[in-house]
Structure 1
Amino acid sequence: MSKDQDDDHIRPVTMAQETTPASAPTMGEVVQLIDFDPIRPGQIIIELRAYWESLRKGRAIPERSDVEPRGIRNALDYAFILERIAPGAARFRLAGKHLIDLMGMEVRGMPFCSLLDPSSRGRLSDVLESVFKAPQVAEIRLDSPGGYGRPPLTARMLILPLRSDLGDVTRALGCIISEGEIGRTPRRFDIVSDEVVPVIPGALALDPSPSAAGFNEQPSPWRAPPLAAPAPVPVGAAQTPEARRARFRIVHETPERPKD
């Protein structure tokens, strides 16, 4: 996008006409371009998915080094790059302006789960691990309930797996697009629904495994290992003073009670 186009995108436009219909802006009225071109989450998700598909070039998963900002200029403000740091856990490597606006802070280096309420983080962990491990493409619908200074907010998220420079699937390209007024930040979301599809059409989709599986099992009680008996010393073998002392044992004798 050229500099002139960038400026037009963020600068209000004054529209003046000699003949103004009732529904059109009046003389000298400042009109935001966003009023005429509202955000379309579905279109941004389609464009980002199509860009990811174009990077594959016959491969199952594209590489992180293949991703260029100019290739996703329409989705750049909503995009992010994730790095897997543990099973079911990732952090933001890069994030667009929209995500920073939602959180009210720079999110680079922050855990990916910080975007969600605690009640939804377990499910997010399951979905995220299926993206990296299967690997699969995930689309998630989110909701942020209204509150004081926070109007109700809905959002859609897309997560696409990427290979790192080492060849393992530990990176992901994604985007999040919210609809509604952000209000007070940070805004955190609950998962409304999620869907995963295999990266190869027709392959079997693997459902995200529950993160709580096996967590309710009680651990076995700890028991000290049995003491090893000292090795017998052959009769007539030479013994050092330390070896002889090791065979000594202390015997406690109970004194006899005096007779009446």
Structure 2
Amino acid sequence: MRNFFGNCPGSRKGKIVAMERFRSGRSLSPIRQAEAYWTALLTGDGVPKRADIDPRGLENILEYTFILERIAPGIARFRLAGNHLCQLAGMEVRGMPLTAFFTASARKEVETMLERLFDAPAIGEVEVTSKQPLGRARLEARMILLPLKSDLGDVSRILGVLVADGMPDKTPCKFALDQCRIRDLASIQQKRADQQQPVTGFAEEQGTFERPATHLRLVISRDD
């Protein structure tokens, strides 16, 4: 991703979490990898900061990744976007609103979802289907939206990943919203805390330590 993922040496120093840490078997999907990366950056203060996101930790999913900025109620525009998104749109998407990827009938739902993600804050995960001209194959895609704080401390950024199962023939993609799942930050933090609790189900009870006697008695044994 240009201007974000191409300037690693000069980027801000922060907490770098490598994606390889989360792989199981061959690989996790880009959606799950992004969520694992974001979750690893969670702190007691809430959602991660935009400055915490380091491209070196996302290097194997950069083409699907993007950053959104909230500019008005229900409206968030692309600050940065990977090649996969540009190919779906048929153009450079920086500066465009997220709703540009959706049909007119789906845009109000997307705006409502964005407000919930920023205000709660919360994670959004959606399944979409492209509205293709008659005779052309329809595309299915999934997207995850992960809230971030700006340098000012307000939740006004989103780290996102969009993965489609193919590419449009010629015309840009417009997606209809099929399913939307929203998870509040509080439930995610609680789940993470539960996972970090030590497992004690099979541990033996600890015995009490008794202080040895301070006086010793010498016993001498003689053979008869």
Query: Distance in 2 between the 1:66 and 1:73 partners?
Result: 15
* Structure 1 unaligned blocks of 5 or more: 1-39, 204-260
Q: Name the counterpart of 1:33.
A: none
Query: Distance in 2 between the 1:185 and 1:78 partners?
Result: 19
1:143 to 129, 133, 139: 129
Query: Distance in 2 between the 1:115 and 1:70 partners?
Result: 27
Q: Name the counterpart of 1:223.
A: none
1:72 alignment partner AA: L
C-alpha contact 1:149 1:183 (8 A) present in aligned 2:
no
C-alpha contact 1:151 1:180 (8 A) present in aligned 2:
no
Q: Name the counterpart of 2:185.
A: 199
List aligned pairs for 1:45-64, cutoff 5 A.
45-64=31-50
| Shift in Å, 1:78 | 0.3
Q: Secondary structure at the match of 1:119?
A: helix
- In the superposition, the TM-score normalised over structure 1's length comes to 0.60
2:176 alignment partner AA: D
Larger RCO of the pair (alpha carbons < 8 Å, separation 6+): 2
C-alpha contact 1:143 1:153 (8 A) present in aligned 2:
yes
1:70 to 56, 60, 74: 56
1:158 aligns with 2:122: no
The structure with the largest alpha-carbon Rg is 1
Q: Name the counterpart of 2:159.
A: 173
1:61 alignment partner AA: V
C-alpha contact 2:119 2:155 (8 A) present in aligned 1:
yes
Q: Secondary structure at the match of 1:50?
A: helix
Q: Name the counterpart of 2:102.
A: 116
Query: Distance in 2 between the 1:89 and 1:145 partners?
Result: 22
C-alpha contact 2:101 2:175 (8 A) present in aligned 1:
yes
C-alpha contact 2:131 2:173 (8 A) present in aligned 1:
no
C-alpha contact 1:153 1:178 (8 A) present in aligned 2:
yes
Q: Secondary structure at the match of 1:81?
A: strand
Q: Name the counterpart of 1:188.
A: 174
Q: Name the counterpart of 2:222.
A: none
Query: Distance in 2 between the 1:159 and 1:153 partners?
Result: 20
CA deviations over 1:112-167 (Å, ceiling 9, x no partner): 11010100000000101101011100001000133257421000010000000100
Q: Name the counterpart of 1:129.
A: 115
Quick one: structure 1 residues 134 and 148, their matched pair in 2 at CA, closer, same or farther if it must change by over 3 Å?
same
CA deviations over 1:233-257 (Å, ceiling 9, x no partner): xxxxxxxxxxxxxxxxxxxxxxxxx
Quick one: structure 1 residues 179 and 42, their matched pair in 2 at CA, closer, same or farther if it must change by over 3 Å?
farther
Q: Name the counterpart of 2:71.
A: 85
TM-align CA RMSD: 2.1
- In the superposition, the TM-score normalised over structure 2's length comes to 0.69
| Shift in Å, 1:42 | 6.9
Question: Which stretches of structure 1, 4 residues or longer, exceed 4 Å deviation after superposition?
Answer: none
Give the fraction of aligned pairs with identical amino acids, expressed as a percent: 45
Query: Distance in 1 between the 2:110 and 2:188 partners?
Result: 24
Q: Name the counterpart of 1:244.
A: none
| Shift in Å, 1:41 | 11
Matched pairs, number:
165
Quick one: structure 1 residues 93 and 149, their matched pair in 2 at CA, closer, same or farther if it must change by over 3 Å?
farther
| Shift in Å, 1:199 | 1.2
CA deviations over 1:148-201 (Å, ceiling 9, x no partner): 574210000100000001000000000100013421131110000101001122
The 10-residue stretch of structure 1 (144-153 or 104-113) with the greater mean CA deviation from structure 2: 144-153
